[in-house]
Amino acid sequence: MIPARAKVNLTLEVLGRRPDGYHEISTVFQSLSLQDKIWLRLLPEREIRLQCDHPALPTDGRNLAYRAAELMMAEGYVGDRGVEVVIEKRIPVAAGLAGGSSDAAAVLVGLNALLGLGLPAARLRELGALLGSDVPFCITGGTALGTGRGERLRFLPDLSAETFDVVLATPPFEVSTRDVYSRWRPRCSAGACGMMVSAIERRRWAALPSLLHNDLQEIVRERHPVIGHLIEAALEGGAQGALMSGSGPTVFALVPAGDRRRTKEVTRQMGRYADLLWVCRPEGFVDPGTFMQGRD
């Protein structure tokens, strides 16, 4: 089994449109303990089979995990064999938590281990960048500054589980990342990522909640006011900070680690506006080589 971990964006600045149709961004990624579980098996015939316990997810080339297996086959790493992928889904779909990207990353990491390829993390990230902007980060996770489309990474000191509990609240609707970015308009950058990176590098954990920032949040809130309600509810419940992750619609709240009373109250307040709630924790960088050591 390969874990596929969710992520949040502690900061997200959109810097401009690129000639390739994407947007130039600067973002600070953070992995979470909430995860999907991925099982892989080699098949004797050259084919891809994908199964998932979430009925709304496609099991063909529209699924990033399928495309990850397809890419490994196209690159010649699988030979004449096929791949079966089984996904146990826990990360909400189309929620700004990189669930699909993390599943794809897990397939790349898992096949690297299963086939004994010994590909380094840098190569896996190169492959991941062909699939999606968040996939390279999801190869190892941890805490990182992402630039370019998000695929260029500078890893930062890990936030430990002793810093914050993270309450995730996903309202009962999906948003289109493409649509959100299409409505973005240039604005003066606030330098939010630089301030967040500086605080993390200095391990000034207490400053992090006040530095949360997302350029896309107001774009989504204009059409879905519940985003604002969730943030207000989190702060009313005692969260130190709250923010929409990525292009939404999930909102996350930071609570001092181990403060069960406050975490419970934040969860209760946010539960008035969300149908999916999770309490999780930050998790650090994981070297794909650890899966090589543990393979059968």
Cβ-proximal residues to 17 (8 Å cutoff; 6+ apart), any chain: 23, 24
Mean pLDDT of 250-259: 97
CA distance 247 to 150: 13
Angle at 74 between CA 72 and CA 75, to 5 degrees: 65
161-181: pLDDT as tens digits: 889 999 999 999 999 999 999
Mean pLDDT of 263-273: 97
Range list for CATH 3.30.230.10 in the chain: 2-155
Report the share of the chain in percent with pLDDT over 90: 90
Angle at 30 between CA 179 and CA 122, to 5 degrees: 90
From the centroid of its chain, how far is CA 257? 21
The model carries a pTM of 0.95
Q: Which of 226, 228, 252 is nearest to 241 (CA)?
A: 252
Q: Which of 17, 62, 6 is nearest to 181 (CA)?
A: 17
3-state SS track over the chain: CEEEEEEEEEEEEEEEECCCCCEEEEEEEEEEEEEEEEEEEEECCCCEEEEECCCCCCCCCCCHHHHHHHHHHHCCCCCCCEEEEEEECCCCCCCCCCHHHHHHHHHHHHHHHHCCCCCCHHHHHHHHHCCCCCHHHHHHCCEEEEEECCCEEEECCCCCCCCEEEEEEECCCCCCHHHHHHCCCCCCCCCHHHHHHHHHHCCCHHHHHHHCEECCHHHHHHHCCHHHHHHHHHHHCCCCEEEECCCCCCEEEEEECCCHHHHHHHHHHHCCCCCEEEEECEECCCCCHHHHHHCC
Mean pLDDT of 21-37: 95
> What is the CB neighbour count within 10 angstroms for residue 122?
9
Question: In this model, does residue 294 exceed pLDDT 50?
Answer: no
Which of 19-23, 101-105, 259-263 bottoms out in mean pLDDT, i.e. has the lowest? 19-23
Mean pLDDT of 148-169: 95
Question: In this model, does residue 231 exceed pLDDT 90?
Answer: yes
Please report the pLDDT score of residue 134 as a whole number. 97
Which tokens sit at 285?
């960088």
Range list for CATH 3.30.70.890 in the chain: 164-283
Please report the pLDDT score of residue 293 as a whole number. 53
Question: What is the sign, positive or negative, of the torsion defined by CA atoms of 33, 36, 41, 42?
Answer: negative
> What is the CB neighbour count within 10 angstroms for residue 169?
28
CA distance 75 to 128: 13
Cβ atoms of residues 197 and 157 within 8 Å: no
Model confidence at 292, in pLDDT bands (50, 70, 90)?
low
Question: In this model, does residue 22 exceed pLDDT 90?
Answer: no
Please report the pLDDT score of residue 14 as a whole number. 96
108-145: pLDDT as tens digits: 999 999 999 999 999 999 999 999 999 999 999 999 99
Q: Which amino acid is at 49?
A: R
What mean pLDDT, rounded, does the chain reach? 95
Question: In this model, does residue 296 exceed pLDDT 50?
Answer: no
Q: Which of 203, 90, 191, 91 is nearest to 143 (CA)?
A: 203
Catalytically active residues are 7, 134
81-107: pLDDT as tens digits: 999 999 999 999 999 999 999 999 999
Question: In this model, does residue 295 exceed pLDDT 60?
Answer: no
Question: In this model, does residue 8 exceed pLDDT 80?
Answer: yes
CATH number of 164-283: 3.30.70.890
Please report the pLDDT score of residue 211 as a whole number. 97
Query: What kind of fold does domain 2-155 have according to CATH?
Result: Ribosomal Protein S5; domain 2 (3.30.230)
Which tokens sit at 145?
């500054």
Q: Which of 245, 252, 261 is nearest to 281 (CA)?
A: 252
